[in-house]
Every structure is written in C-alpha cells, then in structure tokens.
Amino acid sequence: MAVPKRKLSRSNTRHRRAQWKATAPQLVPVTIDGSTYRVPPHLVRAYQRGLLRFEG
C-alpha cells in the first residue's frame, strides 16, 4: 500500500478530493408489456426475461 512521505496540506487534500465526481448512469429505453422504461444497459436482458421487476 502506498504511504505518503509527508503530510499533505488541507488545501491540497480537498483539491484532490474535489476531482472525484459521480457520473449519472447511462440508461437505455426498454419496452416491456407495452410500457417503456429506462434501465442500465447491463440489466436490459434481465428485465426482458422477467428476472427483475419494476417497482413504482
């Protein structure tokens, strides 16, 4: 594991942390039973096969 040789200033720590940003999930439309839903691409087949259900 990497270990810093010296203390990092508060300003530098916060500046570094500010660069990490969450991204919105990419959603694709899928039609099931006449209704269109937007789901992540890796879950499309699971919804089409009925392995996952829509809530709400």
pTM for this prediction: 0.54
Does pLDDT of 56 surpass 80?
Answer: no
Share of the chain above pLDDT 70, in %: 98
**Would you call 39 helix, strand, or coil by DSSP?**
strand
> Domain boundaries in the chain?
25-55
pLDDT of residue 13: 86
Tens digits of per-residue pLDDT, 15-42?
888 888 888 889 999 998 888 999 999 9
Which of 20, 23, 27 lies closest to 47, judged by CA?
27
State the sign of the Cα–Cα–Cα–Cα dihedral 54, 48, 34, 37: positive
